[in-house]
Chains A and B, each alone.
Chain A
Amino acid sequence: MATLTKQQIGSILAKQGILIAFALFMIAFALGNPKFLTVDNLFSVVRSSAILGVMALGVTFVVISGNLDLSVGSMMSFSTIVVLDLHDKIGPFLAIPAMFLMTLALGGLIGFLVGYLKLNSLIVTLGMLSAIHGLTLTYSGGQNMDIADKEGTWFSVFGQGTALGIPVPILIFAGLAALLGLVLAKTPFGRKVYAVGGNGTAATFSGIRRARTVFTCYLMSAGCVATAGLIQASRSLGSQNTVGQGLELEVLAAVILGGASLLGGSGTVFKTVIGVLILGFIQNGLLLIGLQFYVQFVVTWVIIILAVWLDVAAKRGKLWSPIA
């Protein structure tokens, strides 16, 4: 039969809603401004989304495990400031691993508090957002951080370089997405992340070490943040203390836009990547059709709320229901 029943349409929307929405956005913007669908523009959107995207990859693990991470924005500022500072002090070769270790330590602390001590992740990471900001300011003395010799360092390769004609940030984002996508979808660890987020008690009753799984998710998130900080530092070779401010919400928005449930247990790396791209293309498209930069914040959030609402509505088959 050629016609689809209402239920079939509903089920397609529920499964592929995010892709359909993505396609519709692209078509709408392309019709609105011919420049939108040019290779240059597409590359520039993906490149500017890479930092957000790399962070969103890590947060995807945290969210699927049933927790939140609101500290990633301020943690990214920390990584950026630290690596820029150490660049001149001990050289890029040592600065990069040193910055990774320090960022991972912060992630480990959060993982310990949320995983082993079982503290609420919203409270812990909201507190860490503020605490890490303080740490960054203490470290920098409140000053902007700049590399002295901006022309003479190879450090700029992560943010400004290209390989095979593709910007390095895009390569890092794509490579990390492929790697983490495999980890989540195919490895025993990934399976455990879904189980812990889907039903932590049942996971424990199946012999899964829940605390360790949550801890590892936060470590991975911190690793992604450190990578994002590296790209950021390398791109600008100088930075304010607040470079990552507000990114935590954009990151979370991308993950949720991708369809991961805030309750845990669902979501995929691929969908998060789509969420990141949608966010990037919306912001770019709004600029191209001539809207003021500040309007973006409002429109972005309206679209996110709509997307989440449609997602929920498609799952229950109605726009509104007295029961969830």
Chain B
Amino acid sequence: MTDPILRLEGIVKTFPGVRALDNVSLSVLPGEVHALMGENGAGKSTLMKVLGGLHQPDGGGIYMGRDRIVMSGPLEAKANGIVFIHQELSLAEELSVAENIYLGELPRKSFGRVDWSRLAEQTNAILKKLNVGFDARTLVGDLSIANQQMVEIARALTVDAKAVIFDEPTASLTDAEKVVLFDVIADLKADGVGIIYISHRMEEIFKITDRITVLRDGEYQGTVETANADEESVTQMMIGRKLDLSRNASHHELGDVAIEVRGLSCGGLYQEIDFEIYRGEVVGFYGLVGAGRTEIAETLFGLRDPSAGKILLDGQEVRIHSPADAIARGISLVPEDRKGQGLVLGMNCRDNMTLPQVDDLKAGPFVAEGAEIAIFDLYRDRLDIRTPGWKQKVGNLSGGNQQKIVIGKWLSMHPNVLIVDEPTRGIDVGSKSEIHNLLRGLAAQGYAVMVISSEMPEVLHVSDRIVAMYSGRIMRTFTSDEVTEDSLIQAISGLGDHRAA
């Protein structure tokens, strides 16, 4: 067996009050794709920060080949050929693709002038390898998030990399873009580069990785050959128990129609949208990124005015011009971007949870803090939110618990219609299944729930009916009995137009 190209051995890292990493080891062979898995808070990010020189370990060591290396900072990591491709992009939007890729190392001519033609040439050579639809001179700000991710990957390819770390690289990629990414990874592999691949998505893990290392609560759980593992066993290693992902249609009676949408259109974003959601029902909206689902939700929540069509709540036509309007009419939105739209990260748990109703919770001129704490306690218990107390800043919680704070915030408003956009994005499997159960439970209690998701297992698992969208239009609505994965994929790919005339 070949020697590992990169080895982390017995890494220990403690923060005040937390042992973030406890004797964790990970070794990557040349030409290997090694998955690093674990729930949020399991220690993956901390381990990668140790590898990148952003944290100094309290114990253990990092080895490249036979040499022990002290990672004093990001430059040290780069000098050793360790390259990170982060989930959160770090690009300068006002610069061209080429400038971003070679930032700090622009090719020079005499008198320090930039050699633009050579820069474009070098960049285009790399972009060609990535098979992308833009060139060196394109402004990064004009690219989609997915294409920006490709720029980030291109940047990694300019370095003579020995090990490349991909942190949730597919979070915002379409299926076609994923294929390109996996090709790139295959090329790197063929060149003998060691790859650490962090992802929550099981299909990918089983498709492209060779070995899987699992962390839980900062502890090393073991390393398995991907070929000898299956989803269930890996999940069990991650959460220490089994997971239920069966289909889950309602067995309770549906109530009245809570919300009805007729002929709703909004410029080029979506057209002629018709649907209704009954009380006690979960309707899943499935489609590719950009199919118009989030925009519909934003319209229902008063963030975007429609150009045509109407919205009826309990049979009454309504016009909704602002989130405040929507909230007053009993519509709640758990937005897709938890940190950007859902939470004030610097505020404590309680204040975040009661924010939409802070005007109503008054004792004289002041906020009734006792009532607020009561609301927080209620939803902390009901949603099993794990936090030391309401004073904790939301930014310090794990992704799953943050999402529960957002959900609690909207449940405490007792909405007639609850819209949930990508409820489990970036959330670990354990919390994911809790949130799924929660959504099902809400339907059973009589809530009308609209779930937007880009994950098929999720949509299939939680929905009573599934609305398939493609390019701003509803292609077909399935009941949970009739839907199959194939027909759903066909509908959202625009293959065969199933729309009723």
Contact = CB atoms under 8 A, between A and B. Distances in A.
B154 interface: no
B81 interface: no
B367 A194 contact: no
Given A186-B367, A207-B327, A198 B344 contact: yes
Interface in A167-195: 182, 186-188, 191-192, 194-195
Nearest to A198: B344
A182 B358 CA distance: 16
A206 B356 contact: yes
A80 interface: no
Contacts of B54: 323
B359 interface: yes
A191 B340 contact: no
B343 interface: yes
Interface stretch (B163-171, B345-353, B428-436): B345-353
Interface range, A side: 20 to 34
B399 interface: no
Contacts of A192: 358
Interface string B10-32: 00000010000000000000000
B341 interface: yes
Given A191-B351, A191-B358, A195-B355, A209 B324 contact: yes
A305 interface: no
B342 interface: yes
B344 A202 contact: yes
Given A7-B16, A201-B340, A322 B74 contact: yes
A42 interface: no
Contacts of A11: 16
B469 to A, nearest CB: 22
A195 B358 CA distance: 11
B358 A202 contact: no
A195 B323 contact: no
B362 interface: yes
A146 B73 CA distance: 64
Contacts of A154: none
A133 to B, nearest CB: 34
Nearest to A205: B341
A195 B354 CA distance: 11
Contacts of B346: 198-199, 265-266
A203 B344 contact: yes
B324 A202 contact: no
A187 B367 contact: yes
Interface residues of B, number: 33
A48 interface: no
Contacts of A205: 301, 303, 323, 333, 335, 341-342
Contact of A188 (B347, B362, B409): B362
A317 to B, nearest CB: 10
Contacts of A203: 344, 355
Interface string A244-279: 000000000000000000000110000000000000
A243 interface: no
A202 B341 contact: yes
A33 interface: no
B365 interface: yes
Given A7-B16, A322-B74, A323-B54, A187 B365 contact: yes
Interface string A62-87: 00000000000000000000000000
A192 B352 CA distance: 11
A186 B341 contact: no
Interface of A: 5, 7-8, 11, 182, 186-188, 191-192, 194-195, 198-199, 201-209, 265-266, 322-323
10 contacts: A188-B358, A188-B359, A188-B362, A194-B347, A195-B347, A195-B351, A198-B345, A205-B303, A207-B328, A265-B346
Interface of B: 16, 54, 73-74, 301, 303, 322-324, 326-328, 333, 335, 340-347, 351, 355-356, 358-359, 361-362, 365-367, 409
Given A7-B16, A186-B367, 13 more contacts: A8-B16, A188-B362, A188-B367, A191-B367, A194-B351, A195-B347, A198-B344, A198-B346, A202-B340, A202-B344, A207-B322, A207-B328, A207-B356
